[in-house]
Structure 1
Amino acid sequence: MKYGQLAKDIIKNVGGKENVNSVVHCITRLRFKLKDESKANTEVLENMDGVVTVRKSGGQYQVVIGNHVPEVYKAVVAEGGFESAQPDNADGGEKGSLFNRFIDMISGIFTPILGVLAASGMIKGFNALFVALGWLDDTGGTYQILNAVGDALFYFLPVLLGYTAMKKFGGTPFLGMVIAMALVYPALEGIPAAGDPLYTLFAGTMFESPVYIEFFGIPVILMTYSMSVIPIIVSAFFAAKLEKFFARVIPSVVRMFLVPMFTLLIIIPLTFIVIGPIATWASQLLGTATVWVYDLSPIIAGAFLGGFWLVFVMFGLHWGLVPIAINNFTVGGVDPILALVFVHSFALAGAILAVWIKSRNQKTKTLSAPAFISSIFGVTEPGMYGIALPLKKPFIFTLVSSAIGGAMLGFFGTKGYVMGGLGIFQIPSFIPQEGIDMSVIGAIIAAAFGMVLAFALTYFFGGINKNEASNSVAAEPMQPLAGAKEVNNHVIVSPFNGRVKSLADIGDTAFASGALGKGVAVEPSEGKLHAPVSGSVSALFPTHHAIGITSDEGAEILIHVGLDTVQLEGKHFTAHTTQGSRVEKGQLLIEFDVKAIKEAGYELSTPVVVTNHDQFEITATNEQEIKNQDSLIELKAK
């Protein structure tokens, strides 16, 4: 479905973009804060295709969309030019541990450019491959232009990071770009080659630095900032703080130009004098440390990184290693980290191939085919979350095979020379300037071995069809709990203790009408939400007040704790799972403070609905009081 026209119609009928103060979204609806709600054409919106209904509550004008709200929200933001952001503190005021905040910062800075970063690396890698094969002359025009295409991003990497870092830190992105442009300004970069230094600082130490220019008598240590990572990120952090300070103290009539002027006048010299040199030395130490660890035992390093890489990905920990790898490329022109995890996607592909061949379940076979192909090309999420993790043993065998493959990569001395692509597209990035050598051939051998080993282990010892009968993504209908009337029914159990209510009796027209799904509501008596089925978490809103679960049998279940509780912005809610995670029936997913939520004035009637209800015959319990894990809804495939 195309959402562009729907977005235009929604913006028009909420009174136009000039009538919108802000817009965010929750798990089912767009939440506008309008300047004048009387300008909104509610009747037109309610009758619009793609809109379920409209609600007005808590100063918000809510346009209920349903499951496709994230896509519609993106289209609305793009069409209206609104700020696309959820509250930074969506979890209710707790920013999390320092480590989690670091991971969030790194992912926020690097995620927007990873696609073009990988593409540029692939171009550089293939260009090196063409030279190694004798197809191109490294002095010819074709090579030079292709090298410029692939190398431009890396040379001006600080400019892109200046944009993404300032955006992440809450500053004006273009200020970050200007700071980075100053760092790579050609006239300053060329000064050291033009003459002798005025004097030398820190002579005789590892930080010995010649000084060629001064700024009002203060020595400036000129570094090479092209292709650097850490200096611009640190500089953007302080620049965002400075900009916010000047925005508070400078009168609004001259704020537009004086805020950026004073910010740049302070942060750029400060970066050249203090931030840049310290950050550069830190990055050099970081690169040296990782290479030192690798040199201690490449085989052990490869086994560890290869074996745990998919686990790191599951918990987002890989974001702590990706910038180190990028830093290694920029500081030393070579990185072992990303090379040592090369085998993981091929090992996963081998395990999935075994499942594909051996499984007797048609749904598993259907899921395995695209997951196998995507794994070959380095995209592991479909195979990991859809096949390997639910079946358990294929995932374990993938980790084992990837660990052995990583040790082989360490043995062969495989390293990356550019930030390349994923899967098979990563191979050209292993080619050194001298051409294809044993380290490149060894990478291919390791990938092939890891794939074959994972295939064999999964095929012969994976217990594929046995696992499918109990806990796979494509299992036969589960045996119902006590109280189910038919043996083959798919049962959704109650996620908590409480009182059962009809959806029609709750105070939310979108849920009460059944437009968002068929099911029942439960008034919880305690603040613990347990998984009503085994499956995967398909949606978990940042405020943790609502969760979507796709059961092993294919039912899409939405549980919305309370009504309008999104306005609590995560207060009184604690999540014990993450989006994309595998959950088992009865597992604790969310805790919430019943008393505090009620005292805040919110109704706790909790809809438990099946959003793809058209695929099932639905029978709700007749009980009025229910206990956690009692049968709540019975489903039978049509």
Structure 2
Amino acid sequence: MNYHELAQAIVEQVGGIKNITQLVNCATRLRMNFKDESLVDLEELKKINGVLGAVKKSGQYQIIIGTDVANVCNEIKGMGLEELTQPSQKKGGIIDTLMDIFASIFTPIIPAITAAGMIKAILVICVLLGMQKESQVYIVLSFIADAGFYFLPIMLAISSAKKLGCNPYLAAMVGGALLHPSFTKLVTAGDPLFFLGMPVKLINYGSSVIPIILAVWLMTYVERFADKVSPKPVKFFLKPTLTILIVVPIVLIVLGPLGSYIGTGIAFVTDFLNARVSWLVPTLMGAFMPLLVLTGMHWSFLPVLMTSYTTYGYEAVMGPGSLVSNVCQGSAALCVSIKTKNKELKQLASSAGITALMGITEPAMYGVTIKFKKILLSVMIGGGVGGFYAGLMGVVRYTSGTPGLLSLPIFIGENPMNVVHALIACAIGFVVTFVLTWFYGFEEPVGTLDQAETKEAEADKKESFMKKIVITSPVKGKKVNISKINDETFAKEIIGKGIAVESVDGRVVAPFDGTVATVFRTKHVIGLRSEEGVELLIHIGIDTVELDGKFFTPHVQDGDTIKKGDLLLEFDKKAIEEAGYETIIPVLVTNTSAYLEIVASEEGYVEIGETLLTIL
């Protein structure tokens, strides 16, 4: 792979180097923000040789490269991209904004945390092999590893400042104040401490996460205030002095304790789940990790993971389930490589399968799993079963890192059986996924990979064409092909096949006789079931879950019997759009696998009651 040429091709499709406001990379993806998003061409990005996929999720554009991503990222930075400390000015929903912030803050420090955790894993192995903990080699390596966690507030201060748009070195000074030996001595002594008559809570901030993020958030406002009130002749020294003198006391008196309480609360919830229902979270993570990665939602768990690491020295929220899920992705891809006779698919699946077993799942996910929906279901079932075992056995991850067979040392800790149970969970997930894919999930493609229907399926479609079910439009407006939706989950038809409609009047009516399966708590989703058994999902808008029901007025509730044409829901289209959300409505058949085909009508204007979908 020519990294320079690939970097150049990517930069051309994102509007040039000057359009990039932020660039970071994780294990497999470039994560970018832009000044003018209209200059970014996602479809052309996907066509670039070396790009596995491109999506916009969690407030960022994510360009999937694979394990060579760091080299490509460095090439782009070498084209003249300056290190920016200005926050993105784009509007977005609260959830997207928070996930964007979490991703940008935690991604840069992951290598340091990973290195610290791997050194700890090496020390555990050395002790098992006979090394004494009192030896000088052990002591030196131990404090090297501990430094990665103890000085976490300083590292987070720098990355937070770069994301939120304030001076990273002043932010590091705030973090240093929280860890200063004089303060830690006062904490150890326990004697009451006051500043200008106000009590200072004595808390050990070593390895803490939330307090420093709150501190830098405050600093973004204080620094702008200090800049405004400082006269130009003395601004050079007055601005940073005012910033520190205002921020650090407020953090010590208010925000630090608040962040500590939040961290304690997160740790309590995590501890409660591990103690009472240890199997639940790994099962859910094992099953739904592919969907979390596809939508970028996995970044929302970063504060929880970091808090767990620094509180307990391990985490059981994402690590065990994601390990099993990654192995299941590899299992499915390898199964396809063995079973298929298609040379193109065999080569792709074999390479992607091995890579997924090592922990990098994007090639398998985008090259195999998503293209064959039953395989995705097989992966999810296998991941759930393996995750259930991991949860029952109390498997934990001792440090950050992409879970895979090569990174198994991150599961090595004081309990020598932890890594053994992790391997057993992987084996369970691998076997379950392989068997399901072999006997249920895979249909041999005809011709190229894009022609995923077999000759037998084509014949069945013709034979059963007369047994069709027609779904009429519940919305008046413009029909849009589902692949054009600005949401990967809908566009890739992961939930089900269907079509989308851009409503013109904010009304949604019943498209058939049946029942209301569910009205989602946030009122933006209605699930219906027809008398023929068709399960239909009507999703009003993209990311409108963040509105928490605002601007939506449902006229039905769970279990209601409906007749075709009954008013189901009304929404304030203008208000939702003014809040920054798209109001396009995906209409999806969620039990797609129960039918031979879901045929969407052609794009164009549609009235309520006219044919929208034909089910064969």
TM-score, structure 2 normalization: 0.63
Q: How does 1:587-626 map to 2 (within 5 A)?
A: none
Q: How does 1:128-527 map to 2 (within 5 A)?
A: 128-134=124-130, 136-193=131-188, 195=189, 197-198=190-191, 211=192, 213-341=193-321, 342-433=323-414, 435-437=415-417, 439-465=418-444, 468-469=445-446, 472=449
Displacement of 1:87: 7.7
What secondary structure is seen at the aligned counterpart in 1 of 2:13? coil
**Matched residues in 2 for 1:406 and 1:167: separation?**
36
Q: How does 1:26-175 map to 2 (within 5 A)?
A: 27=13, 29-30=15-16, 78=78, 80=80, 82-84=82-84, 88-90=88-90, 94-96=91-93, 98-134=94-130, 136-175=131-170
Given that 1:577 and 1:589 are in contact with CA atoms closer than 8 Å, whether structure 2 keeps it comes out as no
For 1:445, the aligned partner's letter is: I
1:564 aligns to what? none
**Matched residues in 2 for 1:456 and 1:470: separation?**
25
For 2:423, the aligned partner's letter is: I
Given that 1:364 and 1:474 are in contact with CA atoms closer than 8 Å, whether structure 2 keeps it comes out as no
Q: Aligned residue pairs: how many?
A: 445
The Cα offsets for residues 305-349 of structure 1, whole Å up to 9 and x where unpaired, read as 221222222222212223202101212333221343131111111
For 1:442, the aligned partner's letter is: H
**Matched residues in 1 for 2:502 and 2:488: separation?**
10
**Matched residues in 1 for 2:75 and 2:502: separation?**
30
Displacement of 1:296: 1.8
The alignment yields a C-alpha RMSD, in angstroms, of 4.1
2:467 aligns to what? none
For 2:132, the aligned partner's letter is: D
**Structure 1 residues 107, 366: closer, same or farther in 2, change over 3 A?**
same
Given that 2:324 and 2:429 are in contact with CA atoms closer than 8 Å, whether structure 1 keeps it comes out as yes
Given that 1:577 and 1:590 are in contact with CA atoms closer than 8 Å, whether structure 2 keeps it comes out as no
Given that 1:122 and 1:421 are in contact with CA atoms closer than 8 Å, whether structure 2 keeps it comes out as no
Given that 1:363 and 1:474 are in contact with CA atoms closer than 8 Å, whether structure 2 keeps it comes out as no
Provide the identity percentage: 29
Given that 2:4 and 2:72 are in contact with CA atoms closer than 8 Å, whether structure 1 keeps it comes out as yes
1:576 aligns to what? 486
Given that 1:356 and 1:369 are in contact with CA atoms closer than 8 Å, whether structure 2 keeps it comes out as yes
**Matched residues in 1 for 2:408 and 2:17: separation?**
46
**Matched residues in 2 for 1:384 and 1:578: separation?**
13
Q: How does 1:4-19 map to 2 (within 5 A)?
A: none
**Matched residues in 2 for 1:86 and 1:235: separation?**
17
Given that 1:576 and 1:588 are in contact with CA atoms closer than 8 Å, whether structure 2 keeps it comes out as no
**Structure 1 residues 27, 361: closer, same or farther in 2, change over 3 A?**
same
TM-score, structure 1 normalization: 0.61
1:484 aligns to what? none
**Matched residues in 1 for 2:416 and 2:76: separation?**
50
Displacement of 1:237: 0.5
Q: Which has the larger radius of gyration?
A: 1
Given that 1:128 and 1:428 are in contact with CA atoms closer than 8 Å, whether structure 2 keeps it comes out as no
**Structure 1 residues 129, 84: closer, same or farther in 2, change over 3 A?**
same
**Matched residues in 2 for 1:164 and 1:28: separation?**
24
**Structure 1 residues 129, 262: closer, same or farther in 2, change over 3 A?**
same
For 2:374, the aligned partner's letter is: K
**Structure 1 residues 529, 183: closer, same or farther in 2, change over 3 A?**
same
The Cα offsets for residues 184-237 of structure 1, whole Å up to 9 and x where unpaired, read as 1122112233x4x44xxxxxxxxxxxx2x2222322112111111100011110
Displacement of 1:144: 2.7
What secondary structure is seen at the aligned counterpart in 1 of 2:395? coil
Displacement of 1:528: 7.5
**Matched residues in 1 for 2:73 and 2:115: separation?**
28
The Cα offsets for residues 253-279 of structure 1, whole Å up to 9 and x where unpaired, read as 433332221111111111111111121
**Matched residues in 1 for 2:370 and 2:241: separation?**
53
**Matched residues in 1 for 2:284 and 2:603: separation?**
41
For 1:349, the aligned partner's letter is: G
1:562 aligns to what? none
What secondary structure is seen at the aligned counterpart in 1 of 2:105? helix
**Structure 1 residues 581, 159: closer, same or farther in 2, change over 3 A?**
farther
**Structure 1 residues 527, 117: closer, same or farther in 2, change over 3 A?**
farther
**Matched residues in 2 for 1:474 and 1:131: separation?**
55
What secondary structure is seen at the aligned counterpart in 1 of 2:318? helix
2:525 aligns to what? none
For 1:161, the aligned partner's letter is: L
**Matched residues in 2 for 1:2 and 1:440: separation?**
36
For 1:343, the aligned partner's letter is: V
Displacement of 1:176: 1.6
**Matched residues in 1 for 2:490 and 2:448: separation?**
16
After TM superposition, the structure 1 stretch with the greater mean CA deviation from structure 2, 107-116 or 358-367, is 107-116
For 1:170, the aligned partner's letter is: G
2:593 aligns to what? none
**Matched residues in 2 for 1:79 and 1:456: separation?**
48
Displacement of 1:114: 2.2
2:535 aligns to what? none
What secondary structure is seen at the aligned counterpart in 1 of 2:330? helix
Given that 2:358 and 2:407 are in contact with CA atoms closer than 8 Å, whether structure 1 keeps it comes out as no
What secondary structure is seen at the aligned counterpart in 2 of 1:390? coil
Given that 2:334 and 2:354 are in contact with CA atoms closer than 8 Å, whether structure 1 keeps it comes out as no
For 1:457, the aligned partner's letter is: L
**Matched residues in 2 for 1:589 and 1:144: separation?**
64
